[in-house]
Amino acid sequence: MKVRRLGVGDSAAMRELNALFSIAFEDAGSYPADQPGEAYLQRVLGNDQVIVLVAAEAEQLVGGLVAYVLPKLEQERSELYIYDLAVDEAHRRRGVATALIGTLKGIAADIGAWVIYVQADFGDDPAVALYTKLGTREDVMHFDIAPEATR
């Protein structure tokens, strides 16, 4: 298995990863329904604050993650937030997610990030088991706040 970071010129691989996310998260409404344009993908994939990793076996994409660098202001440091992580169902329990996170840990060290964090949903036992194996659990509440135009 080979893990690599996507960048400018990798929009086809990003579209393939989005298709995998759509299936893994059972969320056809967010991923294939309103795909971003080519210019947008190129701009975001070229942003150093966005980390997209894909894992492939024999040139077939089998997993990937999207993480964001969050610069902090209380100290000169950053955090990495894993926003999406998925592995093709036929390739699960083979170390794909662990390899993706391992690569991300190296990137985090290279950029001086002090922590990587990720959320898991209650009931997503495989994700909870993976993250428990790799890190320290903190129980927090997550809230979604809708944007609102100011007058």
* CATH fold label, 2-134: Aminopeptidase (3.40.630)
Cα(87)–Cα(99) distance, integer angstroms: 11
Domain ranges of the chain: 2-134
pTM equals 0.86
Q: What confidence score (pLDDT) does residue 35 get? A: 86
Residue 85 clears pLDDT 90, i.e. is over it: yes
Exposed/middle/buried for residue 23 (C-beta within 10 Å: 0-12, 13-18, 19+): middle
Q: What confidence score (pLDDT) does residue 143 get? A: 67
By three-state DSSP, how is residue 98 classified? helix
Residue 33 clears pLDDT 80, i.e. is over it: no
What is the arrangement of strands in the sheet containing 2-5, beginning at the earlier edge strand?
Answer: 2-5, 50-57, 60-71, 78-87, 113-118
Residue 5, strand partner residues: 53
pLDDT more than 90, % of the chain: 61
Residue 36 clears pLDDT 80, i.e. is over it: yes
What the block records as the tokens of 37 is 């344009």
